[in-house]
Amino acid sequence: MQLDIPYHLENFIDGDFFPPLKNEFLDNINPATGLMVGKIPNSTAEDVEAAVIAAKKAFPDWSSSSSEKRFRILNRIAELIEENLETLTLAETNDNGKPLWLSNQVDIPRASSNFRFFATAAMQFASESHSQQNHSINYTLRQPIGIVGCISPWNLPLYLFTWKIAPALAAGNCVIAKPSEVTPVTAYLLGKICKEAGLPNGVLNILHGDGPSCGEAIVKHPQIKAISFTGSTKAGEKIASIAAPMFKKLSLELGGKNPNIIFADCDWKKMLFNTIRSSFGNQGQICLCGSRILIEASVYEKFKTDFIPWVEKLNNGDPLLETSKQGALVSKVHFEKVLQCIELAKQEGGKILCGGHAVKIEGRCENGYFIAPTVIENLGPNCRTNQEEIFGPVVTLQPFNTIEEALELANATDYGLAATIWTQDISKANLVASKIESGIVWINCWLERDLRTPFGGIKNSGVGREGGWEAMKFFTEAKNVCTEY
């Protein structure tokens, strides 16, 4: 199949492509070059209405289709993503600024895995029955909700978009989905792939546009019964304020300020290798990155001696080059925000150990949004730098002396998404894991993902869980049926 990318992207509604009804467009910028590469619809409530009409028409057939039919179609989508790996990889990198090798090895393969995983979930999903001896039997029907909204961010564009869409479709729902307006292209291409895979018209509708115009219209629409959102805590708060009084089902995957706790007795080499990844992978723009590194005081100086030279080797460069370890930040706005955060850290008394500045790349990328990986020390747990999400290539270092102190530092923010623990003492690791306030804990590893496990945060990092049966349960309504003997 031919996956062309037009200058003006269009919405995917009822199995076809349409310009936005109000003909309003946003610029799409390549963050590595700073150049405008196209226009994307800034959709409005009118476009959402058209998508809802299409989804409503499609729902009776899709929701009652056999699980095998859903399996076949979703599995075909997974195959087509694989077959178009190169086109999707390039589109993702041009939109997001991440290195091509990263899109190629992680983002696009994972989008395909999401569809494959939930294709099989459609076949395996079962529900409970409960018997009261000699009295009654209950069974639980898990029925599709109807029309659901999926809204995703820019950091892992197709990866997180499909993480929501695939379970929603597998469970028999019709979907109105909106990718981030900053990284729309792979979502646009997914529409073409779904059409080719034989997904019936109207089952998946993909609308483009910004949060206030398109996103809020999705959240407000009375016939969209559930919202699955991944993005910032601020936008999550706004979405909850609209959806909660309408009693919509809500799944919110929000920001983080994750601790990475390093004990002196850890496997040092493995910890260093993974701490480089967890600090600066995707330019630090992964919600699971460990942005606060907490180090046992006895090895604090050794950590700096070993870690900083390695960070300094993470060269920023043209994302299309194999040799670039770090690409561009996703947008000018985000680039400026991260630079401001570094300035704030300095004002708060932080000492910059490396990085701390923008990087100019010669040639094609001379106007791109590059920042050198930055390590900061000398800041206490309560300053803004250690409290607020930066979501860029910036980490802070803090020493601790005891397990209690490590836990106090780890839990000292309003966030609670993920944490990493490095120690060879597995009892200590499990004790710390049990007391950490976060939805996900990695012991002696990072970003090791099994798609069956619950995924999500606590505190200001979110409400609800994605992944495996959690996602299938979110996208269905449980109805209990009781019969007396």
Q: How far is the CB of 481 from ligand NAD (least distance, A)?
A: 34
What DSSP character marks residue 376? E
> Is 187 or 361 the residue whose CB approaches ligand NAD more closely?
187
Question: What is d(CA 239, CA 252) in angstroms, rounded to the nearest whole number?
Answer: 9
| 357 backbone dihedrals φ, ψ, rounded to 5° | -150, 160
Cβ(166)–Cβ(118) below 8 Å: yes
Cβ distance to ligand NAD smaller for residue 282 or 398: 282
User: Residue 385 CB, nearest distance to ligand NAD (Å)?
Assistant: 16
**Which are the catalytic amino acids?**
253, 287
Q: Residue 366: what residue type?
A: E
- Contact between 170 and 471 under an 8 Å Cβ cutoff? The reply is no
DSSP character string of 118-154: HHHHHHH----EEEETTTEEEEEEEEE-SEEEEE--S
Instruction: Please list the residues that pair with 205 across neighbouring strands.
Output: 176
User: What helix, strand, coil percent values describe the chain, rounded to 5?
Assistant: 40, 25, 35
- Closest to ligand NAD by CB, 38 vs 231, is 231
For residue 52, the minimal CB distance to ligand NAD (Å) is 16
Helices and strands (H, E) in the chain, number of each type: 15, 24
Which pair of structure tokens corresponds to residue 217?
Answer: 């219209």
* Comparison of 204 and 266: residue with beta carbon closer to ligand NAD: 204
In the bound state with ligand NAD, the residue whose beta carbon lies nearer, of 263 and 280, is: 280
User: In the bound complex, what is the minimum distance in angstroms from residue 289's beta carbon to ligand NAD?
Assistant: 9
Quick one: DSSP state of residue 104?
Answer: I
CB 224 to ligand NAD: min, Å: 12
d(CA 105, CA 57): 38
Report d(CA 408, CA 186) in Å as an integer: 41
Q: Closest separation between CB of residue 147 and ligand NAD, Å? A: 16
DSSP 266: S
CB-nearer residue toward ligand NAD: 197 or 204: 204
Neighbours of 483 (CB within 10 A): 8
Binding site residues, ligand NAD, CB under 6 A: 151-155, 160, 178, 180-181, 210-212, 215-216, 219, 230-232, 235, 238-239, 253-256, 287, 389, 391, 417, 457, 461-462
CA distance 366 to 98: 16
Q: Which amino acid is at 375?
A: V
Give which of 453, 457, 448, 350 is closest to 394, Cα–Cα. 350
Q: Minimum distance from CB of 400 to ligand NAD (Å)?
A: 25
Specify the residue, 172 or 457, whose C-beta has the smaller distance to ligand NAD: 457
